[in-house]
Structure 1
Amino acid sequence: MNQKPEQSAPNIPTSTAPAIQTGLPAADSKEMRKLIGLMEQFAVLKHATVAMGVRQADAETIECARRAVEQGYADVVLVGNRAEIEKASASVLPADAPLPFEIVDTDEPEEEIVSMLMSGKVDAAIRGTAKASDSLSNLKRACDINEIHRIAILLTKQGNPYFFAPVGIDEGTTAEDKVKFICLGTHLLRRVGVMPCVGLITTPDDAGKEEAAIIIREMKKRDITVIDYGLNLEKAFENSNYIIAPNGISGNLIFRALTFLGGGDGLGAPILMDHHVFVDTSRSAGHYTKAIMVASALSKKREYKE
């Protein structure tokens, strides 16, 4: 069992790994499209052990876990009520076939997935169908942090991937918080080999303009270019690969509109922390195979070497 490292708020990176410089707007570049393929390669290479919270197990949840194992992304541990998981598995898997995943029996998956992550029993975790508020509260308590930074990975209907934040209703409420989001997100993009192109979506009032000016000024000090697109969503998505919404509420609405109404897809929202990998998921999305892939790819089980 690994000893739990001390952790406070995430450190904002001051330096990052080299990234691919495309010189082209994100929508015209193939580099972001390569991102998903790269993450799949990382996941298979690392083949991490990933815990997934399960409440009210159903056939879709089981099928997502089965596919993740079948595609070699990870060893999956389903954390929830064993009887419910086994019953749901019987409707998906052949009767005599061994379960392709491990089951940890608990009626409190929100606590257990965090405990397993912190103790080192698993390399990464995804929320799955566990309750959001309880899972994130337990995570903050275990990591001794007051705030979290989730960055959603979004695929549009056309298959273009984007990083998108904030998506939590209580996130991104200040310019300072958005600066943290930008620093952490650009570091993650560079880590997977992509040059960040950051676009701000801002309100047209004085407060929105003032906040945008503060953010751009602060990011310039860090040699990170940020462009304010106002409310021009089309231009922001055309020319950026990392979109910052005005706040978590509007970000959540934009994300849901693009995924549930616009034919897009969500790959989960990694919570950026120094020592642990936890991918938040939407209970209504059901795309847990991809979230498991992301969790395994971002895990620190093994550093990727070309």
Structure 2
Amino acid sequence: MDLQYYCTIPENKQNYSFFVMDHYPLNQVLRIRGRSSYSYLNRSTGKILTMKIAAGVGENQAIVQASRQVDFEVVLTESEEELLDMLLNGEVAAAIRGSLSASHFMARLRELYPEVYRASLLDIQGRLFLLAPVGIDEGDTLKQKRKIIEYGDKFLRQMGLNPKIAILSGGRPQDIGRSSRIDKTIQEAEELTRITRDKYAVKHYFILIEDAIADGANMILAPDGICGNLIFRSLVLLGSIQSQGAVTLGIDEIFIDTSRSQNEEGYLRALKLAEKLAKQH
């Protein structure tokens, strides 16, 4: 039977090492890694809390290496259910998916919250912007896209940024008539712009994502989640754009979604984003 050790880091250890406490079957264990944890003030409750973040471990072990490079406690688990329980029960300040599958986790989360969307926080030469939706089953309706704009605008303001939202569609203005699918995306983007522009700084850039970035947009709204996911993979997994993880919009807790294909540096950025958001929460 595969065994895994339960390890903990004493609070007074600055240069950490691991202390074996006991061993259990692999599917029953939490692995705790990181340097000594520290306390922080939770802004919403006024309580002093210990910085502890949970992360999931699947086939990609890069998250394990990343967890060793932070100055707070990281609780690693191979169970989606356990990861969600720790987050919802308040055992941790935040959680990141790491390299676990998202299907079961997101299904349970949506049982508690009716409107849950993911938006990747990307970095282009030091400039942050949100890309949404990136969940392949998100952003299919006008109502969902409007909600994503609302949540995204709020998140950017919490980050200290002035929201500038670019709405994308499937073609240029002169492409209308070439395909019913193209026509639908353009018409929906035009309608979405019309119903949100009185409250939010939105502009329809059609298919020209490069123009949106050049104009300083800090939120890119893709035509749907499949398009958003493909844009993410092209920019981050194939290109040189850095991802800090995908923030989960529409929930009270802090959950950072990450690709199962991410590298060690990408997981490290996600852990640091989770820490930053926990301090602001």
TM category, shorter: 0.7 to 0.9
Match of 2:233 among 244, 256, 259: 256
Contact 1:197–1:225, Cα closer than 8 Å, also in 2:
yes
* Distance in 1 of aligned mates of 2:280 and 2:209: 36
Match of 1:149 among 86, 109, 117: 117
* Structure 2 unaligned residues grouped into runs of 5+: 1-37, 42-49, 172-181
Instruction: Look up the match of 1:76.
Output: 74
Amino acid at match of 2:238: L
Contact 2:151–2:250, Cα closer than 8 Å, also in 1:
no
* Distance in 1 of aligned mates of 2:110 and 2:132: 19
Instruction: Look up the match of 2:63.
Output: 61
* Distance in 2 of aligned mates of 1:118 and 1:249: 28
Contact 2:53–2:75, Cα closer than 8 Å, also in 1:
yes
Match of 2:102 among 128, 132, 139: 132
Name the CA shift for 1:234/1:64 in 2 (closer, same or farther; >3 Å).
same
SS in structure 1 of the partner of residue 69 of structure 2:
helix
SS in structure 1 of the partner of residue 106 of structure 2:
helix
Name the CA shift for 1:159/1:193 in 2 (closer, same or farther; >3 Å).
closer
- C-alpha displacement at 1:120, in angstroms? 0.8
- C-alpha displacement at 1:303, in angstroms? 4.5
- C-alpha displacement at 1:56, in angstroms? 3.9
Instruction: Look up the match of 1:20.
Output: none
Instruction: Look up the match of 1:123.
Output: 93
Which runs of structure 2 are paired with 1:89-128 in the superposition (5 Å)?
109-128=79-98
- C-alpha displacement at 1:79, in angstroms? 1.5
Q: Where is the helix percentage greater, Structure 1 or Structure 2?
A: 1
Amino acid at match of 1:138: R
SS in structure 2 of the partner of residue 68 of structure 1:
coil
Instruction: Look up the match of 1:182.
Output: 149
Aligned length in residues: 223
Instruction: Look up the match of 1:39.
Output: none
Q: Where is the strand percentage greater, Structure 1 or Structure 2?
A: 2
Contact 2:139–2:224, Cα closer than 8 Å, also in 1:
yes
- What's the CA shift string for 1:182-222, capped at 9, x where partnerless? 1101111111111011111112343223212221122123x
Match of 1:295 among 262, 274, 277: 274
* Distance in 1 of aligned mates of 2:237 and 2:226: 16
- TM-score scaled by length of structure 2: 0.73
* Distance in 1 of aligned mates of 2:91 and 2:66: 21
Contact 1:50–1:296, Cα closer than 8 Å, also in 2:
yes
- C-alpha displacement at 1:264, in angstroms? 1.4
Name the CA shift for 1:45/1:234 in 2 (closer, same or farther; >3 Å).
farther
- C-alpha displacement at 1:236, in angstroms? 1.1
Which runs of structure 2 are paired with 1:223-262 in the superposition (5 Å)?
223-239=199-215, 240-262=217-239
Contact 1:168–1:248, Cα closer than 8 Å, also in 2:
yes
- What's the CA shift string for 1:93-143, capped at 9, x where partnerless? xxxxxxxxxxxxxxxx100010011111111111111112122223223x2
Contact 2:115–2:250, Cα closer than 8 Å, also in 1:
no
Amino acid at match of 2:88: M
Amino acid at match of 1:296: E
- C-alpha displacement at 1:147, in angstroms? 4.3
Match of 2:55 among 31, 36, 52: 52
Instruction: Look up the match of 2:176.
Output: none
* Distance in 1 of aligned mates of 2:60 and 2:160: 36
- TM-score scaled by length of structure 1: 0.68
**Per chain length, whose mean CA-contact separation is higher, i.e. which structure has more relative contact order (CA < 8 Å, sep 6+)?**
1
Contact 2:56–2:98, Cα closer than 8 Å, also in 1:
yes
Instruction: Look up the match of 1:218.
Output: 195
* Distance in 1 of aligned mates of 2:103 and 2:139: 17
Let me know the Cα RMSD of the aligned residues. Answer: 2.1
* Distance in 2 of aligned mates of 1:261 and 1:194: 27
Contact 1:48–1:75, Cα closer than 8 Å, also in 2:
yes
Amino acid at match of 1:117: L
Larger Rg belongs to = 2
Instruction: Look up the match of 2:174.
Output: none
Name the CA shift for 1:279/1:225 in 2 (closer, same or farther; >3 Å).
same
